[in-house]
Chain A
Amino acid sequence: MAENIIELKNIVKRFGKVLANNNINIAVRKGEVHAIVGENGAGKSTLMKILYGLYHPDEGQIIINGETIIKNSPKNAVKHGIGMVHQHFMLIPPLTVAENVILGMETSKGPFVDINTANQRIKKLSDDFNLHIDPSKKIEDLSVGENQRVEIIKVLYRGANILILDEPTAVLTPKEVEDFFKVIKSLIAQGKTVIIITHKLDEIMEISDRITIIKHGETVDTINTKDTSPKEIARMMVGRDVLLQAEKKVAQTGKVILDVKNLSVTKSKDVLALDNLNFEIKAGEVLGFAGVEGNGQTELIEALMGLNTEKIKSGKILLEGNDLSNSLTKERLEQGFSHIPEDRHKRGLVLEYQNSDNLILGQQHNFTRTGLLDRIGIDEHSERLIKEFDVRPPHKEVLSGGLSGGNQQKIIIAREFFRKFKFLIAAQPTRGVDIGAIEFIHKQIIKARDEGKAILLVSAELNEIISLSDRIAVLYKGKIVKIVDADKTNKNELGMYMTGASNG
């Protein structure tokens, strides 16, 4: 039996009345890839922040390399060889790789920063771990995958032996995920230990040695990856059997609902964000848009919704033959658009509003009598939706900003499905949502499709795109590279189109 490099014993952490971690026990062995899984709000992030010294546990022990840590802090954690790679990169784009890596611990030669020594050290790290990073390149010229490897170099540069990776594959393409797994393998080969937090079950199965499942702030179990299955992990996470793949009948398509013709949108003066898009969506059909983020998805959604219209260069948007190209957002919503925004904090919710106010956002005119808000009607409406969509905590007065991401998403889903819509834009509908809720949201989307709505799905999750869509359009640099039938394609083929190849 390998020795335990980290032991967390009976960790308890409370925030006010909320018990974030309740008696958590984890033992991470030296040289393994240890996955930590759990639904949103299960307490994974809190636990990792405790390990990294950002929070102090109310009870329990942290033992690193056999040494009990009394007063933990990020500085102390780094000293004990723990490095954390956050989900959101913390890099400064105009600076070079080396400048970013040494930030906060610059070695100097007289009054000058000694960048040459840093370059050499980074080059060596890059070679040792197959990271393929040129230290003199600027961050802004690197891809997302390379950015992530820079973050890894950052922690290795600080002498980390134990790397905590928080949702590392969320922003990567399938090819980048493959490369990333190679990096993890070479880290392990060189004697490092990796803790990976994720909710992507197939990835856990592929890369991890052991898995610890956390539910409601408590450890459910730690199991060997080779002895388990995604289905079993999902059951342990949620507490019941979960459909991992959306089930749907063959599409019964009707007439064309949405027709987009020659849509072009500018990004900056000479650069097009969308270049002459043509597609249609029929009643009862889900058209998925696959693509690496930043290839025009956001601009497409905005153009369809009538937002930032000054950027639209040309094109027509027709709903059941009616030209809505020049209509206001409000008119489009009234005509039968519905919209689950890709960024719920930015576009989906007013975080300072209570749930009941967010549940009528965009429909407030339906809850108004002679200019005054119909409070009683709004309250009844909210209570009904909160119950139906199982929003937790189930209070209409709670500010939406205080909800977990999954519950915020439920508020938006509840609101947008309540509209009488013909056409739905579902952008990243399950981003950051736990698997129990994902199943629910997928069922809602399929139900709407079976009722004859036209649905445009944008998602960074290829599994989601493939399982929900009837047809899939791949966006690359603002162009539709290819539209394929969902049942005649696979991740690898889509991954190729996503990097611009025009035939698989």
Chain B
Amino acid sequence: MDKLNKKILIEFIIPIFAVLLALIFSDILILIYKESPLKIYKLLLEGTIFNSYGIGQVIFKTTPLIFSGLAVAFAFRTGLFNIGGEGQLYMGTFVTAVIGAYLPDSIPRFLAVILCLLGGFLAGGLIGFIPGFLKAKTGSHEVINTIMLNFIVLAFINYLLVTYFRVPETLHTKEIISNAHLARLSEFIPALDSTYASLAFVIAILTAIVVYVILWKTKFGYELRAVGHNPEAAATAGINVKKCIMMSMAISGGLAGLIGLNYVLGDKYYFEEGFSSGLGFMGIAVALLGRNHPLGVVIAAFLFGVLSEGGLVINAVVPKELVDILQAIVIICVVASTTEVRKILARGK
């Protein structure tokens, strides 16, 4: 069994190593800025995880990153690189908002939320399915097709928004009905008062658990991962590789379709053009740092949530772009250290 523990250890060491390496780089940057790194980090932590308002805001920022990371990780486990999260999340969020806005007021609260969720998932899933279908049927690469679809979907949604769905003089849809609102966490935990953290976070955690169960506990997940590791062996064993590719991309897109849940059902209550600012792409970083595992994704999303909120906190002392740089360095370090750490460990034997 110590072999298993070692495996888990390696999975954790790589991201920790990457974060530490990133901290060293950012120390240098802070020093160049003639500030004390310790002071900045203290400020950052005090403003985020060491006060209740900070925690609430971190949870708010973590929620979409969990969905985004799960979307990338899910496809990755089937050997697919979904970088179309941005398009999928736009479609998903837009549909969520439209459903929420046009549901009858009398609909029960639970049902309203379920319908919005389902709509977002299916709409995002449809956008994910297209490159999956193209890959399965024609062999064209999903990376190219997901990127290209991003442009198409964004333009299409803007067209729909501007032409049919916007509230005049604005760039957002009309508000969703109040029964489709997700409760703020502060209703249950008063300490989180005045933060935007909502039940969307709980849904995100539940989704991570569901993803874990699907991938590692079901026959379907067993087949998906077999395709991800070795599609030829999977095909030889009678697994329908093409179907797996299409299903995986659709589910990945569906997960991305839920990224905007937090925003539409828990915060603004409408869809607005340009609300995402790259959340779909951040999923790649989250999945990478989280080693494509749902637990890792949740932890990594939380870390990026802290950094994102922390950027606002330290903005008074150093530019918040410092945090953007820190995030970028973390990503580069994860990518670069994956093989390095393995080598070091192998040598230490």
Interface stretch (choices B91-99, B235-243, B247-255): B235-243
Name the contact of B219 in the complex, choosing from A333, A365, A397, A398 (C-beta under 8 A). A365
Let me know if A349 and B230 touch, CB within 8 A.
yes
Let me know if B240 and A346 touch, CB within 8 A.
no
Quick check: is B156 within 8 A (CB to CB) of the other chain? no
Let me know if B229 and A372 touch, CB within 8 A.
no
Most buried by B among A16, A331, A365, A373: A373
- Tell me the minimal C-beta distance from A161 to chain B in angstroms: 34
Quick check: is B130 within 8 A (CB to CB) of the other chain? no
Let me know if A333 and B232 touch, CB within 8 A.
no
* C-alpha spacing A383/B79, complex, angstroms: 30
Interface stretch (choices A146-154, A205-213, A351-359): A351-359
Which of B26-68 touch A at CB < 8 Å? none
Let me know if A373 and B235 touch, CB within 8 A.
no
* C-alpha spacing A435/B1, complex, angstroms: 32
Let me know if B220 and A371 touch, CB within 8 A.
yes
B220 CB contacts on chain A under 8 angstroms: 371
Let me know if A348 and B217 touch, CB within 8 A.
no
Quick check: is B325 within 8 A (CB to CB) of the other chain? no
Known contacts being A373-B219, A397-B4, is A330 close to B239, with CB within 8 Å?
Answer: yes
Name the contact of B222 in the complex, choosing from A305, A352, A364 (C-beta under 8 A). A364
Which of A465-487 touch B at CB < 8 Å? none
Most buried by A among B223, B226, B229, B237: B237
* C-alpha spacing A15/B346, complex, angstroms: 10
Let me know if B3 and A398 touch, CB within 8 A.
yes
Quick check: is A341 within 8 A (CB to CB) of the other chain? yes
* C-alpha spacing A365/B223, complex, angstroms: 10
A361 CB contacts on chain B under 8 angstroms: 226, 233-234, 237
B219 CB contacts on chain A under 8 angstroms: 364-365, 367-368, 371-373
A351 CB contacts on chain B under 8 angstroms: 229-230
Name the contact of A350 in the complex, choosing from B1, B4, B226 (C-beta under 8 A). B226
Known contacts being A329-B236, A333-B238, A362-B238, is A350 close to B229, with CB within 8 Å?
Answer: yes
* C-alpha spacing A346/B233, complex, angstroms: 6
Name the contact of A352 in the complex, choosing from B3, B217, B229, B236 (C-beta under 8 A). B229
* C-alpha spacing A428/B152, complex, angstroms: 50
Known contacts being A328-B238, A362-B238, A398-B3, is A348 close to B222, with CB within 8 Å?
Answer: no
- Tell me the minimal C-beta distance from B241 to chain A in angstroms: 10
Quick check: is A92 within 8 A (CB to CB) of the other chain? no
Contact with B along A322-350 (1 / 0, CB 8 A): 00000011111110000101000011111
Known contacts being A329-B238, A333-B238, A362-B237, is A346 close to B222, with CB within 8 Å?
Answer: no
* C-alpha spacing A77/B335, complex, angstroms: 36
Let me know if A307 and B235 touch, CB within 8 A.
yes
B218 CB contacts on chain A under 8 angstroms: 368, 371-373
A364 CB contacts on chain B under 8 angstroms: 219, 222-223
Let me know if A346 and B232 touch, CB within 8 A.
yes
Quick check: is B343 within 8 A (CB to CB) of the other chain? no
Let me know if B239 and A347 touch, CB within 8 A.
no
Name the contact of A373 in the complex, choosing from B4, B222, B226, B229 (C-beta under 8 A). B222
* C-alpha spacing A347/B230, complex, angstroms: 8
Known contacts being A350-B230, A373-B218, is A341 close to B3, with CB within 8 Å?
Answer: no
The chain B residue sitting closest to A305, CB to CB, is B236
A346 CB contacts on chain B under 8 angstroms: 230, 232-233
- Tell me the minimal C-beta distance from A382 to chain B in angstroms: 14
A333 CB contacts on chain B under 8 angstroms: 237-238
- Tell me the minimal C-beta distance from B237 to chain A in angstroms: 3
* C-alpha spacing A350/B227, complex, angstroms: 9
* C-alpha spacing A364/B226, complex, angstroms: 11
Most buried by B among A331, A346, A351, A371: A371
Known contacts being A328-B240, A330-B240, A364-B223, is A349 close to B233, with CB within 8 Å?
Answer: yes
* C-alpha spacing A365/B239, complex, angstroms: 10
* C-alpha spacing A390/B222, complex, angstroms: 25
* C-alpha spacing A327/B163, complex, angstroms: 49
Name the contact of B236 in the complex, choosing from A15, A307, A365 (C-beta under 8 A). A307
**Cross-chain pairs A/B with CB under 8 angstroms, 13 sampled:** A328-B240, A332-B238, A339-B236, A341-B236, A346-B230, A352-B230, A361-B233, A365-B219, A372-B217, A372-B218, A372-B219, A373-B217, A398-B3
**Chain A residues near B (Cβ < 8 Å):** 15-16, 305, 307, 328-334, 339, 341, 346-353, 357, 361-362, 364-365, 367-368, 371-373, 397-398
Given contacts A328-B238, A333-B238, A346-B232, 9 further A-B contacts (CB under 8 A): A330-B238, A346-B230, A347-B232, A350-B230, A351-B230, A352-B229, A372-B217, A372-B219, A373-B219
